[in-house]
Structure formats: structure tokens, C-alpha cells
Chain A
Amino acid sequence: MQTQSSPPVGHDALAAVAAVDLVKVYGAGDTAVRALDGVTVGFERARFTAIMGPSGSGKSTLMHCLAGLDTATSGQVLLGGADLTKQSDKVLTKVRRERIGFVFQSFNLLPQLTALRNITLPLDLAGRRPDAELLDRLVTTLGLAGRLGHLPSELSGGQQQRVALARALVSRPEVLFADEPTGNLDSRSGAEVLGLLRDSARNLGQTIVMVTHDPGAAAYADRVVLLADGRLAGEIYQPDITSVTDALQKLAAGR
């Protein structure tokens, strides 16, 4: 099952989601900031990819655009071959609901809903019933059995993030986006969550795109995409902490 090999796949062939010459400008005139300056990158199916870069490199903006949370100034975002940039809010809403999953730094669970209700929320919104078997497997894998009736305030940070992970996975999204998922966790819980992300890519064939600034977290990924000043600044296959740290230092030095 494990796909340890590293074929450098092009962004167009097997990409689950891809950016083509993506530009995002905030503000106008003198104060305009080019957060993304012509980024072209693809994210392969069933792979765990990390986006890295120094602060202000545009990594969060890239993810927001890829996920249909934000609109690009120009260029294309291709999800399953279809362009998202020209779509209405209605279509984007549907895309987010049915084809994309999110895990946030601050968990973002609804405080008034139980863990189970939080997990099934995207399906509820879409008017679908959860796949009982998948739900069962996720709950077991994520170690949430026995916690489903709890409110978020009754769960530890790690547990809350695992609930958020289950919520993102239960609708079988084409792409799972994770924004600094371990930023608010202690190192043990963080390692747990990262391991779970890696396993879902390997065992469940889940496409995962994660934004992080932590080389240790990026080392769990199959591939690291590096951004600097809104442009693509390199990539690393089969990263480890050393290779990622070196690359980041080189980027910092090059500025």
C-alpha cells in the first residue's frame, strides 16, 4: 500500500488541485501588496504536500485561494480540472462543502455542538447522511471513541484537533487543507495529528495540502513546496528536518 517511491509528477497530469500563474493583489495603488506573484504549482492525488516559506511569503494566501476561500486577482485554480477562480460564491460554497476539507490552527469547533455533531456538520449542511462505516473507522483511527458526546470545551487540544480532522475527512473530500494544524498543540499531540495526516494520505489515498512554518511538521509530508515573496522557490521530495531547514535558511539568505 505504501507509495514510498518519488516520481516527480507534473502538476497537470495527476494533480488533484493546481494553481496556474496565480496572482493575488491586496489593496490598490502605492499600498498594493502582491501576495501571490504568478504561482504555478500542482498537488498530486493521494499525497501529503506541505507548503512552506518565511512569513509573508504568501503560503496562507495560496492555500486560501486553492481552497476557494478567497478569490484570486488573476490566474487559475484547477480543482479536478475545473477552474474555481471564475465561480460564484454559490458554487464555491458547494465546492467547499462537498469537495474540500479543512483543518485549522485553532481547531474552530462549534462550542455548542458535541464532538459527533461537529464531525458530521459538513454532511448535515450538504443534507447527506454520514457513511456509517467510514465514520466508525475514522472515530476508531483517531481515538475518539467515547468522546463523541463531549462538548469541545470538555476535550483537550489534541482531541479537539482530531475531531476537526474527522470533520474534514468524513465527507471524503478531494483535497484536505490544513493550516498550521499543530500550531496550538504540544509536541506529542502535534506528532499524533501529523502521523494521522500522513496515514490518511498513505492508507486512505487522501490528498492533503498543509501550510506550516515548522520543519519538523513538514518532514511528515511526501513533498515540500517552498514559497518566497509570492513566488515558487523550490520543492523537496521525501523531505526530512535537515533538508527542509537547509532550504529555508537558503531562502532567508537569498533575500
Chain B
Amino acid sequence: MNPILRTQLAGVARRPARMLLTGLAVLVASFVVYATVLAQQITQRSIVDGLSGTPEAVDLVIRQGSIDDRHLAAINAIPGVSRTSAQTEIGAQLGGQYLNISGDPGSGPLALVSVTEGRYPSAAGEIAVTPRTVQLLGLKVGSTASVDPGTGKKVALRVVGVVKPPVDFGNDAYAPASTVLALTVDHFVQGIYVDVDAGTDAGPVRDRIEALFAGAKDEDRPEVVTGADVRLAEARDAASQIDQVFAVVGMFVGIAVAAAGLIAASTFRIVFAQRMRQLALLRAIGAGRSATFRALATEGALTGLATGAVGVAVGQGAGFAVPALLRGIGWNVLNPGIPVLWAVGTILLAVVISVVAVLAPAVSAARVAPLEALRTAAGTGARTGIGVPRWIAGLLPLAAALALAGYVYTNLPGLDERDYDPQMMLLAVVASGALAFAALIALGPVLVRPVLAVTGWPLRRLGPVGRLAVGGVGGSARRAAAVSVVVALGVTLVAGVLVGGASIRALGDRELAAAAPTDFEMTGGDGSTLPEEIVTRAKASGELTRVTPYRRLTSAKIAQFEGTAVTDLDVRALPRLRDLDVRSGSVDELKPGTAVVAGYLAEMAGLRLGDTVRVENQGRTVSLQVVAVLGDDAPLHAGLLVVPADLTAMGAGGGWSGMLADAARDGASARTEALRAMRAAAGGKTEFSVVVLADQRDALDAELATLLGIALGLIGLTVLIAVVGVGATTALSVVERVRESGLLRAIGMSRAGLRTMLTLESALYGVIGAVLGLLLGVPYAWLALRATGANAPLAVPVWQLAGAFLILVVLTALAGVLPARRAARVSPVNALGTD
């Protein structure tokens, strides 16, 4: 064995923990990679096992084509058919709302729903509803719903039970298929589930079913497939969705692995620098440069091997522990297997990252002059400047990044630009970001000082401890840069997601301002009006606020467009309408003789600010001046907003068309109370239906929150590795600076002071990284947002960004706490004795 390597390995054997510390980032990365593989296995096994929509008992499925109740009866008569379930679903009008009624046996092996309250409908005219439907549509057990199933005649359906459905949209009712079919004119079903008798071969049954449809035309003939095939296809579909999800996860894991590589390179550099004297000594007594390099590179590979193996082992342990824990709290989760190939692959990946990471540090360490052995050991990273090659390696990608960003900027889509391809532009933004990052890696050491000069200012004012911390970080700019760049990577991603999320939310708010200006809307259906006492009752209710009745004309003709809606809704009464996307003019200008035009109408009719719009209705003509054009839709899906007097001039009657209201207080229970108050105001008349507009807002909020949560969770991997890197760097630099710590203690720094100083240094890595990350992340998020062509406003969520900044700085500070404590425990004498 190479004698240099033997020396190194003897050192490793003496302090194995330090080897793990060197490769800690690689360890975490291999854990993450392997854990992701296991997570995918667990998810796939659990979902494929449990989550196919078609019940296990279904042997045959007849679907597509044209099937009616006579076919159903014929199939039921086939010998060997144990039971069938007709898949039928109709939409019915309930007041101003939509109710989805599906056929289901309600019990037995073919049922998709199960009763939770009351009983399952048995007689005609009975239905069961889902829990959310009870809440949203007010259909309690015992109540009667008067619906129009599309036949034009109202049918009374009695609610006899509540069922738990596979998915609950809040407008779902279930009944036996016969009940549902009775509501329709043509008695068609969408499909039939067939369960054949136990022990009977499904093949002949299938042939007889196919024979039933032999006479049908090609396009009407349904297909008959086995339940097993359907379930398999559903499972495959679910699995491919999982694969897609994990492909995205894999991308983020890839970024985290790259971050780990950067951290590993930095830690190797520190470790080798600490051994500079020893290496120089070996060189002085005759070790060759290339032999030294080989020894160091081998050590890197061994570090990768060790940390990769530990990471995989920990991952496998977690892979068995987590499902066991989840089963403990009642989740049905299966164990992963032991994917040996993946395990070996992950370890290999760890070795490769480590070897790549160790190359540059090993080259520079092997270049150490033998004379260094005789000099007093200088610290690592003391050099602050960078050489010409590094300048070039930094400035070239920087120029390319700027050029790409400039290209995207000059080619940003205008308002409603047609034929715009966002994909290319987004790719260009990502490429520019990656190049900017490469530049940051190379130029980092030069950037640390200026950033430190600004951000360190308050610390320097704090006194000598703060000044020393700032000096300590600034004094080893290369090391600070290496760690901070990885923190910056995490923060860039976090900032991008936060800004993107906030902007999408702002866009959503804008659109929802028109679609859902209040929590509730009550209407009486087309043409009917709301009696005044309903409005009076609603206004008197303490649960409701901002009760705003409005009139709405649906028969007006504007320009050449007939049937355009005009409303006199008081825009100023509803605060959410402040978010309306106003393209030009101002909604506040609305007064008699003027109108606010919806964007779509303005576009179609060629109306612009200041133009005159002619409204014809029932032989009357009113001309109004356009004072504002909205982005797209106007509130209540109207084309035109006018003042009440002008609406009356168009021939609108005195009765209210509908009423908007908000819940008086925030929170789910307040909203339920408010919904009840709305219903109470209607006085029990079901023709005045209440729509919970707030649900749309909630749905958007929930969807955004989920997306943001997932994205931030995945970015969390990179942030975790960055924090680990800060911790490892601080720990190693503490080892290296034992002497300095001792000196500070000897000349009168207290333990607490030393602890504070080192923790502050560690936090400063976070501060520098976070500042660089925000400087990169926010502009790139803006550019990417504009490049999508989504026309979203740039929203900078200052508090969220400040929060992310603070959390990151706190995390990096925490990463330094343990090493700082260790350093502070060192006695000043020991410190001075260390060579």
C-alpha cells in the first residue's frame, strides 16, 4: 500500500468520527437518494395494493357504447350472474345548484358507498347524500329536495341517509340504480359491473353478454372486459402517476446531491489544509506529488464508500421504521423491499460524488511545497482573492447568464400575446439561472467581503465578539464562499417558490374577485326575484355582514351581443372587489351615465376607455361612457357594471335578482353559522338556493398550500444539506482553530463570548448565503413568471421571505452551536499546546 495512504488511514482509524464529518453531506445525500427509492417502493406497493376504484368482486365490466335498462335485465337473467350493479349518473338542477345523483347498490360486494347515518334508499323517490352535501346544500336526513333531473319537471326526492363516498365534492347523492334510471327519460346506463357466481367461469358469461350486443351498430356496441384488467389498468394508472411524481422528486434530489458534492469539496479542502504540515513533511521526506495526490483521492473514495454505506443503512432502517410507525397510527402502508441494486448504486453514487469533490482539493494539497512543513501552520482559506483562471471561470458563465436573461427579458410576451411558446423561454431562464450559479461558485470568494461589509454592519456594532466573528468569516473568504454558495442554492429555490406562489395567489385572487366577491350568494334562479324580507332578515342577522343585494339584467343587447348581463352591484361595498384586475380606467369613476366593461366584452365589441357603449333592452336604448375596462370577467359574470338609476333606465324592475353576503367572522364554524343564517333568511324556501362562493377560494388556497408545501419540502433537502455543510464546516474549522480559540481565551474572552463568536460565524455563513440566494432568487422568479406568459402580477411576499431568511440563519446558527460549545470547553493551555 502507498505509504502516504497508510499514514492517512492511520489518521482516519484514530479519529473515525472526523471522516464521517468530512463526508457528512455525502452521507445525508446518499440517505436522501436511497430513502427516495424506498419511498417510491412503499407508495407503489401500498397504492397498487389498495387503491383501485373498481371493487374486488367485479368479474366483468361492460362499458362504453350504448347500454340501457333492458340490457341490464337481460344480463341479470344470464345463468351464472350472481349480481350486477349499473353504473349510472345524472345531473339534476336543485334551485340554482347542481346535484349529482349516482346509482349504487349501497351494500354488498359491488357497493362503492357505505351508509354512515340513517339508511340506504330502497323505495323510489329516496336518496342518500354525502356528508359535505349535507353541509353545503342543507340536505339533512328527513329533508326533501325538489330537483329537475333535466326533464323540465320537478321531482321531490326524500333524503333518507348519509353515505361515505369514494370522493366527496359536496353535491353528490346516491340511490339504487333503479331509482336513478327512473328519473331519466331514456334509461341509459354508463356501465355495468357484473359479479358471477363463485366457482363459475366468467368466460361463457362474457360470451353470452357479448352475444346480447351482437346486433348493435359498431359505435354503439359496448366492450366487455374482465374486472381484473380494469383494476390492473387503474393500478397502473395510479402507479404511473406515482412515477411522474417521483420523477419530479428525483429532480430535486439531484439538486440536493449536487449541493452535497459542493459541500464535500469544501470539507475536503479544509481537512487537507489542516494536514498541510503533515503532507509537507511526507513530501519533505520523499513522497512524490502524484503519489500524494493518489493517496488523497483514494481517501476521498473511501470516505464516499463509508458515508454512502452508512447513509444507505440508515435509509433502509428508516424504510422499515417509518411504515411500522404509520401502521401504528392506523395507515395502511406496506414495507419496502431491500433493493440491492439501488443500494449498491447509491453507494457508488456516493463514491463518485466524493471522488469528484476530492479532485480539486487533492490537486492543490498535493502541490504543497515540502518547505511548508517547516513554517508555522497557516489556516485554510486565508487567501481571499482568486486567480485569473478562476476569474475567467466565473465571468464567462456570468456573461452567458446575463446574455440569456437579457434575451428572455427583451422577448417577454406582451399582454395577451398569441402564439407564445413559454417552454423555450422557461428553459432559457433555467439555463441562465444554472449559469449564474456556476458563476457564483467561482466568484464566491470575491463576493463574500462586500456582502459581509453590508450584512456584518449591525454585528460589528455589537462589540468585539461580533467584530471578531465578522473578521473570522471575512478572513477565510474561500471557505465562507464554499459553504454560503450551497446555502444560497437552497435560498434561491425557496425564494423562487415563495415569490411564484405569492404571484399565483395574487393572480388567483384577482380572478376570484370577480367570480367570488363574497362568501355566499343567494339567487332564485332565472327570472325570479328575491323578496325584500329575505334581504331584511339577512341584514338583521348577526352572523352575516356586507349583505349586498343586487339587480341583474340578462336580456340586454350590447353592440351586436345579445343576452349580455348587466348588473348594478355596488362595487365599493365589497372589499374583495378591490382586487379586481382593472386594465384601464378606474372603477371608482362609476357614476350615472357611465359603465365599467368586462375585459372579454371590451375585446369582442372593440370598446375602449372613453368610448360610448349602447345598451338596448326591451326597446329602450341607453348610452353610457366607458370609465373602466376590467382584465377579464366582471363580478357576477356580468358584461357591464352600471349604477342603479341607469339599470332602471334599461327597464330593470325593482326586485332584487340576488344577494351577496360575507360571514361576519373568520373560521369554519363561523362560516357554517353564516350559511345557516343565509338559509334561515330564505325562510325555508328551497327555490332560493345559496352558493358558498368561499369554497372556490378555499379550494385555490388549499391547492396552492399543498403545492407550496410539497415544493418547499423537496427544496428542504437542499437546505438540509446546506445546513449540514455549515455544521461540518464550523466543526472542522473549530478543530483547526483550537489555537486561536485558546489565544482568545488566554487574553480574556469568556467561554460564552467564544461560543457566541463561533455561533455567529456559523450564522454569518447562513446570512451571506441567504442574501446571495435572495438576490438571485427573486429576480429569477420574476423573470420565470413573466416568461410563462401567465400575466400574473409580481408579488413579493416580504414577510414570508423574511421568515425564510430568518429560519435559515437560525438553522445555520444552530448548526454551529455544538462545535462552538466544544471549542469553548477547550482549556486555554491545551489550545496553546496544539501544533
Interface residues, chain A, with chain B CB atoms under 8 Å away? 64, 67, 69-70, 89-90, 93-94, 96-98, 101-102, 104, 106, 108, 110-113, 117, 121-122, 124-127, 153, 167, 179, 184
User: Taking the nearest CB of chain B, how far is it from the CB of A166, in angstroms?
Assistant: 13
- Given the interface contacts A69-B827, A124-B467, A127-B463, does A106 sit within 8 Å of B376 by beta carbon? yes
Pairs of residues from A and B, 4 with the lowest C-beta to C-beta distance, nearest first? A97-B748, A112-B475, A124-B464, A108-B743
A121 touches B747 (CB 8 A): yes
In the bound assembly, the distance between CA atoms of A209 and B814 in angstroms comes to 42
A108: chain B residues within 8 A (beta carbon):
739-740, 743, 832
**CA A121 to CA B468, docked complex, whole Å:** 9
B476 touches A112 (CB 8 A): yes
Chain A residues near B379: list those with CB within 8 A. 111
Q: Is B176 an interface residue (CB 8 A)?
A: no
CB of B267 to closest CB in A, whole Å: 21
Q: In the complex, what distance in Å separates the CA atom of A98 from the CA atom of B747?
A: 9
B829 contacts the other chain (CB 8 A): yes
Q: Are B463 and A93 in contact (CB under 8 A)?
A: no
Give Cα A132 to B131, complex, Å. Answer: 82
Pairwise interchain contact A153-B467, C-beta atoms closer than 8 A: no
Point out the residue from A89, A110, A126 that lies within 8 Å of B740, measured CB to CB. Answer: A110
Our pick among A90, A96, A125, A179 for the contact of B464 (Cβ within 8 Å) is A125
Q: How far is the CA of A119 from the CA of B753 in the complex (A)?
A: 19
A60 to B180 Cα, complex, angstroms: 99
Given A93-B749, A110-B743, 19 additional A-B pairs, CB 8 A:
A69-B746, A69-B829, A70-B829, A93-B745, A93-B751, A96-B745, A97-B747, A102-B746, A102-B747, A108-B739, A111-B382, A112-B382, A112-B475, A124-B463, A125-B465, A125-B749, A126-B748, A153-B382, A179-B832
Chain B residues with Cβ under 8 A from A101's Cβ? Answer: 747
Which residues from chain B contact A104 at a C-beta distance below 8 Å? 743, 832
* Complex contacts, B829 vs chain A, CB 8 Å: 64, 69-70
* Interchain residue pairs with CB less than 8 A apart (23): A69-B746, A69-B827, A69-B829, A70-B828, A70-B829, A89-B750, A90-B750, A93-B750, A96-B747, A97-B748, A102-B746, A104-B743, A110-B740, A112-B382, A112-B474, A112-B476, A113-B471, A113-B475, A121-B464, A121-B747, A122-B748, A125-B749, A179-B832
**Beta-carbon contact of B747 and A70 below 8 Å:** no
CA–CA, A69 to B746, complex, Å? Answer: 7
| Complex contacts, A167 vs chain B, CB 8 Å | 747
Measured between C-beta atoms, what is the minimum distance from A182 to chain B in Å?
Answer: 15
Contact of A125 with B376 at beta-carbon distance under 8 Å, contacts A93-B748, A108-B739, A112-B475 already known: no
CA distance A127 to B467 in the complex (A): 12
The answer to whether B748 touches A96, judged by C-beta atoms less than 8 angstroms apart, is yes
Q: Would you give the shortest CB distance from B742 to chain A, in whole angstroms?
A: 8
A112→B471 contact, CB < 8 A: yes
Among B379, B745, B746, B753: residue with most chain A CB under 10 A: B746
User: In the complex, what distance in Å separates the CA atom of A90 from the CA atom of B751?
Assistant: 8
Q: In the bound complex, how far is the Cα of B474 from the Cα of A70, in angstroms?
A: 32
User: Is B798 part of the contact surface with A, judged by Cβ < 8 Å?
Assistant: no
CA distance in complex: A56, B650 (Å) = 111
A179 to B831, CA, bound (A): 14
The docked-state distance in angstroms from the alpha carbon of A174 to that of B826 is 26
- Tell me which residues across on chain B come within 8 A of A127, comparing CB atoms: 463-464
Cα A142 to Cα B31 with chains together (Å): 58
The answer to whether A125 and B471 have CB atoms under 8 Å apart is no
| B827 surroundings in chain A (CB, below 8 A) | 69-70
Minimal Cβ-Cβ distance residue in A for B377: A106
- B378 at the binding interface (Cβ < 8 Å): yes
Report yes or no: A94 in contact with B471, Cβ–Cβ below 8 A. no
Once bound together, how far apart are the Cα atoms of A127 and B750, in whole Å?
13
B residues within 8 A CB of A179?
A: 832
CB contacts (< 8 Å) of A106 on chain B: these are 376
Closest to A71 in B: B827
Contact A184:B376 (CB < 8 A) given known A110-B740, A126-B748: yes
Q: How far is the CB of B745 from chain A (nearest CB, A)?
A: 7
As a 0/1 sequence over residues 474 to 506 of chain B, the CB contacts with chain A under 8 angstroms (1 = contact) are: 111000000000000000000000000000000
> Beyond A96-B746, A108-B743, A110-B743, is A153–B464 a contact (Cβ under 8 Å)?
no
Report the Cα distance A112→B761, complex, angstroms.
13
Binding site for A on B (CB under 8 A): 376, 378-379, 382, 463-465, 467-468, 471-472, 474-476, 739-740, 743-751, 753, 827-829, 832
> In the complex, A94 Cα to B751 Cα: how many Å?
11
- Closest chain-A Cβ to B832's Cβ sits at a distance in Å of 7
> CA A93 – CA B739 in complex, angstroms?
17
Q: CA A93 – CA B746 in complex, angstroms?
A: 8
Q: In the bound complex, what is the Cα–Cα distance between A70 and B379 (angstroms)?
A: 26
Report A195 CB to chain B, min CB distance, Å. 24
Shortest CB-to-CB span from A7 to chain B, Å, is 32
Specify which chain A residues have a CB less than 8 angstroms from the CB of B750 in the assembled complex: 89-90, 93-94
Collect the chain B residues with CB atoms within 8 Å of residue A110's CB. Answer: 468, 471, 475, 740, 743-744
Residues from chain A with Cβ under 8 Å of B743 in the complex: 104, 108, 110
A102 to B743, alpha carbons, bound, how many Å? 9
Q: A112-B475, A124-B467 are contacts. A89–B748 as well, Cβ < 8 Å?
A: no
A102 to B475, CA, bound (A): 24
> A69 touches which one: B475, B739, B751, B828 (CB < 8 A)?
B828
A-side contacts of B828, CB under 8 Å: 69-70, 96
Rounded to whole Å, the gap between the CB of B448 and the closest CB of chain A is 12
Distance (whole angstroms) from the CB of A28 to the closest CB of chain B: 17
Who on chain B is nearest to A93 by CB? B750
Taken together as a complex, chains A and B put the C-alpha atoms of A122 and B747 apart, in Å, by 6
What B residues does A125 contact at CB under 8 A? 464-465, 744, 747-749, 753
| Interchain CB contact (< 8 A) of B748 among A70, A98, A184 | A98
Q: Which residues of A contact B468 (CB under 8 A)?
A: 110, 113
In Å, the complex CA distance between A113 and B747 comes to: 15
Could you say which residues of chain B place their CB within 8 Å of the CB of A93? Answer: 745, 748-751
Q: Which of A69, A96, A112 has the most CB of B within 10 A?
A: A112
Give Cα distance in the complex from A104 to B744, angstroms: 13
**Given A127-B463, A127-B464, A111 and B378 contact (CB-CB distance below 8 Å):** yes
Best-surrounded residue of A64, A67, A89, A125 (most CB of chain B within 10 A):
A125
A89 touches B751 (CB 8 A): yes
| Nearest CB in chain B to that of A120: its residue | B464
Complex Cα spacing A67 to B743, Å: 13
A110–B743 alpha-carbon span in the complex (Å): 9
Chain A contacts for B378, CB-based, 8 A: 111, 153
Residue of A nearest to B748 (CB): A97
A89 CA to B826 CA, complexed, in Å: 12
The answer to whether A112 touches B832 (Cβ under 8 A) is no
How far does the alpha carbon of A125 sit from the alpha carbon of B747 in the complex, in Å?
Answer: 9
Please give the distance in Å from B816's CB to the nearest CB on chain A.
Answer: 17
Collect the chain A residues with CB atoms within 8 Å of residue B745's CB: 93, 96
**Whole-angstrom CA separation of A93 from B749 in the bound complex:** 6
Q: How far is the CA of A106 from the CA of B746 in the complex (A)?
A: 14
Question: In whole angstroms, how far apart are the Cα atoms of A90 and B750 in the complex?
Answer: 7
Bound complex: CA A125 to CA B745 (Å)? 10
Per the bound structure, the CA–CA distance linking A102 and B745 in Å amounts to 11
CB–CB B832/A111 < 8 A: no
Cα distance A93–B829 in the bound complex, in angstroms? 13
A89→B755 CA distance, assembly (Å): 14
- The distance from the CB of A184 to the nearest CB of chain B, in whole angstroms, is 7
Chain B residues with CB below 8 A from A98, complex form: 748
Q: Which residue of A lies closest to B833 (CB)?
A: A60
Return A10 CB to nearest CB of chain B, in Å: 29
Chain A contacts for B475, CB-based, 8 A: 110-113
Q: In the assembled complex, which residues on chain A have CB atoms less than 8 Å from the CB atom of B476?
A: 112
Nearest B residue (CB) for A63: B829
- Complex interface: chain A residues within 8 A of B746 (CB): 67, 69, 96, 102
Cα(A76)–Cα(B467), bound, Å: 37
In the assembled complex, the CB of A177 is this many whole angstroms from the nearest CB of chain B, namely: 9
Question: How far apart are B255's CB and chain A's nearest CB, in angstroms?
Answer: 33
Q: Which residue of B lies closest to A97 (CB)?
A: B748
Bound CA–CA A69/B379 (angstroms): 24
State the Cβ distance, A118 to closest chain B Cβ, in Å.
10
